[in-house]
Amino acid sequence: MALAVFSRTQQHALAATEASSRYQSILRLAQERVARFSSSLSDERDIDACLLAILLMGRYEGVIYRPGNPDLKHSFSSLPIWSHHKGAMAILRFWYDHLNRTPATSLIRDTRRGLIRSSLLINLRIPDWMLDGIRFGERDLEQDYDRIFVRTVNLQYASASLQQKKRLDITQIEGLSHEADELDKALQSWVTKFPNKWSYQRHVLRDFDPRRKTHFYSSVVYSYSRPGYAAVWNQYYALGILINGIHLRMLGLIPLEQVADSNHERRRACINRLQTMADSLASSIPFCLESFKILDTPKSLPCESSITFNTDKEIKPYLAVLAVWPLTVASIIDGIDFQQQQWFKSQLAHIGKATGEGVLESVKTDGWAMSR
């Protein structure tokens, strides 16, 4: 993995060759191990070892992916990075069926989270055995968020399936629309539980040039006392974008002759909510990428803090990763302003180039779209 990242960021051909050779060897070993894991894996250490290997192989596929792959034009789900989804799912299912009497490890919890995200992107339904996050180590606020997220992924699957039907059932459309509305209300309730110390400060950039949006989409930016707090808020914005994007698409399926005034109001409310979430995410991304720095004086109020631009500084991968998933969601959901979505894609591609993640860098050239 390290060789692959090094080869990509430093343009080192020999490192790429060595990384490929080692990957093929590890891939063969992993395939042999997974093929017999049901009889040989006896404890969670073996489970974790296999899950970690699959995780790293998936990351490797993401690193070596080259933008401009013509195969991606046919299906977003054809990305090589998804090839390890089934293997990870099988191992997690084995743990669930045979070894879940002991608490889930952090790797088991994080693997489930990753599988839920990839299920969204390639349009798969979350199986019943994966629905309860408590079984996989989710607790407190994370558990509440997980419950909303899992329902949203299955809502996306249901809405995509409905769109494939030749005759649309207005009752089903209304049912899914109601589900989206309930999920958005649950999400808004969830954010009220945040501790005060997680709050953000709103700043206005005095020298912002609307013609130059490389690092800032607008003159408004948010700052947080810790990167982790920004990550939580970005998860909130991303899920809000996802829910309202699905909701807006469902409302658009209602035949014009059956659209009542109340539906127009629902549509406007949905568009406004989607835009608010997108704007907030755009205001948070510069903080995650350290594109500015707050300079406080001893007596200054938060709104009076001066800001210095920091756009020439190299991206720190451990901070950039906090923005990857929210940016991914914002890059593929319909209903976001075109120019704003292009900005989200540019930020994701920028992260991909800086961290060596070819699959992220491809977001602008390969026309990502969520499978439906």
User: What local confidence, expressed as pLDDT, does residue 74 receive?
Assistant: 43
Question: Between the ranges 56-60, 238-242, 305-309, where is the mean pLDDT highest?
Answer: 238-242
pLDDT digits (tens, 9 = 90+) for 159-183: 999 988 877 888 899 999 999 999 9
Adjacent-strand bridge partners of 220: 204
Tell me if 311 sits within 8 A of 291, measured CB to CB. yes
User: What local confidence, expressed as pLDDT, does residue 314 receive?
Assistant: 84
Tell me if 288 sits within 8 A of 222, measured CB to CB. no
Of 269, 265, 246, 240, give the one whose Cα is nearest residue 173: 246
pTM given for the model = 0.89
**Length of the chain, in residues:** 372
Confidence class for position 225, pLDDT limits 50, 70, 90: very high
- HEC string of the chain equals CHHHHHHHHHCCHHHHHHHHHHHHHHHHHHHHHHHCHHHHCCCHHHHHHHHHHHHHHHHHHHHHCCCCCHHHHCCHHHCHHHHHHHHHHHHHHHHHHHHCCCCCCHHHHHHHHHHHHHHHHCCCCCCHHHCCHHHHCCCHHHHHHHHHHHHHHHHHHHHHHHHCCCCCCHHHHHHHHHHHHHHHHHHHHHHCCCCHHHCEEEEECCCCCCCCCCCCCCCEEEEECCHHHHHHHHHHHHHHHHHHHHHHHHHCCCCHHHCCHHHHHHHHHHHHHHHHHHHHHHHHHHHHCCCEEEECCCCCCHHHCEEEECCCCCCCHHHHHHHHHHHHHHHHCCCCCHHHHHHHHHHHHHHHHHHCCHHHHCCCCCCCCCCC
Of 164, 148, 157, give the one whose Cα is nearest residue 253: 164
pLDDT at 195 over 60: yes
pLDDT at 249 over 90: yes
Question: What is the C-alpha separation between 121 and 115, in angstroms, rounded?
Answer: 10
Question: What is the C-alpha separation between 164 and 215, in angstroms, rounded?
Answer: 39
All residues at 6 or more sequence positions from 260 whose CB lies less than 8 Å from its CB, including other chains: none
Of 190, 195, 160, 155, give the one whose Cα is nearest residue 176: 155
Average per-residue pLDDT in the chain?
85
pLDDT at 329 over 90: yes
Confidence class for position 353, pLDDT limits 50, 70, 90: confident
Average pLDDT over residues 297-316: 69
User: What local confidence, expressed as pLDDT, does residue 325 receive?
Assistant: 97
Q: Amino acid identity, residue 299?
A: K
pLDDT at 303 over 60: no
Which range has the worst mean pLDDT, 10-14, 52-56, 355-359?
A: 10-14
User: What local confidence, expressed as pLDDT, does residue 100 receive?
Assistant: 74
pLDDT at 256 over 50: yes
Question: What is the C-alpha separation between 244 and 181, in angstroms, rounded?
Answer: 8
Q: How is residue 8 written in tokens?
A: 């990509």
Proportion of the chain above pLDDT 90, given as a percent: 50
| Rounded to 5°, angle at Cα 337 from 332 and 342 | 60
Question: What is the C-alpha separation between 275 and 297, in angstroms, rounded?
Answer: 34
Tell me if 81 sits within 8 A of 107, measured CB to CB. no
pLDDT digits (tens, 9 = 90+) for 21-55: 777 777 677 666 666 655 555 567 788 888 988 88
pLDDT digits (tens, 9 = 90+) for 103-127: 899 999 999 999 999 999 999 999 9
User: What local confidence, expressed as pLDDT, does residue 49 receive?
Assistant: 85
pLDDT at 145 over 90: yes
Q: Amino acid identity, residue 172?
A: Q
User: What local confidence, expressed as pLDDT, does residue 185 receive?
Assistant: 98
Q: How is residue 182 written in tokens?
A: 């309930």
Which range has the worst mean pLDDT, 7-11, 135-139, 210-214, 256-260?
A: 256-260
Question: What is the C-alpha separation between 62 and 57, in angstroms, rounded?
Answer: 9
